[in-house]
Amino acid sequence: MLSKFAVTVSLAAALGAIALSPAAAGPKGKDAPVTIFVSELSFSYPHFVFLHAELEDEAAKIGNVKVIKSDGQLSAPKQTSDIEAAVVQGVDGIIIAPADADALAPAVRSAIAAGVPVVTIDRPVNGVPEVLANVAADNFTGAVHQGEAVAKLFPNGATIVNLQGVPGDKTAIDRNAGVHKALADKPDAYKFVAEQTARFSRDQGLAVTENVLTGLPQPPQVIVAGNDDSALGAAQAVEARGLKGKVAIFGYDGSTEALKAVRDGSLAATVEQFPGKQGRTAIRTIVDYIRTGAKPAQSNILLAPIAITKDNLKDAERFPLLTQ
């Protein structure tokens, strides 16, 4: 694994290849060369690996678009530093999946003030309405569909363990609120017997689930998780206790591994939030603006997630990858 120093040097080298020039004051023109700096939240998550691969593919299809790739490493200070360096070096635009919606706001605001348009992806920054667009899945709606999938499988009610995401993170907040909303009409039927953060982590999903299963008098019928990694960790804990097939686990993200788990029965469902479409939409939106000045019809571009079960696996964006 590259050290933080090596990653920083690599990024500096990539940025240094750009001619030093002020950000363009107006449209660059159709087919003009464009350089976009992209800071993903973390490449430790399959979601962002796939999102970025699709973004790069779309950039190649558009043509004459250079993408500078950066791993945000879940670090607001790193992303702030990287944005500042990108602006100094004269990139034409920035796409960022912010590690912290508040902490990244000053850097994003400064970039826009310097004439560099910014598109946020997967999640927004707070208090910066000047952002060209936020391209993301509607996490609240996706989690409502997650809860509806629970209700469909357990129409008479169920005991539920809820593995939440990172505390304070908007994505985690929306997903938690959505699944509660879906089941709120029948609080006596759908009982949340434990709710703890698993921080979107497989290791935490495993550890928290082990602890919860130890503490409960009997296993829950359902485990809902804030993302696929924590759901897959929960599946490990459930299987280790001989409970596979007795506890229905619901993930969120539609990762390739989660889709395989749905196919094989380790997970009951996952939520497809179309990261590939997010990446393609983001790069096309910012390039169109840089070249022609065209702004998107709406600044908050939300894609509608869907719940994926065995019955509709083919609707998943990464379904073709299941055979690889």
The verdict on 180 and 318 lying in the same domain is yes
The verdict on 206 and 120 lying in the same domain is no
Which of 68, 90, 93 minimizes the C-alpha distance to 11?
68
Length of the chain: 324
The verdict on 266 and 288 lying in the same domain is no
Is the pLDDT at 243 greater than 80? The verdict is yes
Domain count, the chain: 2
The verdict on 8 and 89 lying in the same domain is yes
The verdict on 231 and 319 lying in the same domain is yes
What pLDDT score was predicted for residue 168? Answer: 82
The verdict on 157 and 253 lying in the same domain is yes
The verdict on 8 and 123 lying in the same domain is yes
CATH of the domain at 164: 3.40.50.2300
The verdict on 167 and 105 lying in the same domain is no
The dihedral built from the CA positions of residue 54, 55, 59 and 61, taken in this order, carries a sign that is positive
pLDDT over 70, % of the chain: 92
Tokens (6 digits) for 80: 């702030």
The verdict on 116 and 216 lying in the same domain is no
Is the pLDDT at 14 greater than 60? The verdict is no
The verdict on 266 and 146 lying in the same domain is yes
The verdict on 19 and 133 lying in the same domain is yes
pLDDT level of residue 24 (50, 70, 90 thresholds) = very low
Range of the domain at 75: 4-137+275-303
Asked if 230 and 201 touch (Cβ cutoff 8 Å), the reply is yes
Is the pLDDT at 10 greater than 60? The verdict is no
pLDDT level of residue 320 (50, 70, 90 thresholds) = very high
Residue type, position 91, single letter: V
What pLDDT score was predicted for residue 18? Answer: 46
Mean pLDDT of 255-284: 97
DSSP 46-93: HHHHHHHHHHHHHHHHH-SEEEEEEE-TT-HHHHHHHHHHHHHHT-SE
Asked if 213 and 237 touch (Cβ cutoff 8 Å), the reply is yes
Give the list of residues 6+ apart from residue 255 with CB closer than 8 angstroms, or none.
Answer: 46, 47, 50, 228, 229, 270, 318
Neighbours of 33 (CB within 10 A): 12
pTM for the predicted model, two decimal places = 0.84
The verdict on 217 and 75 lying in the same domain is no
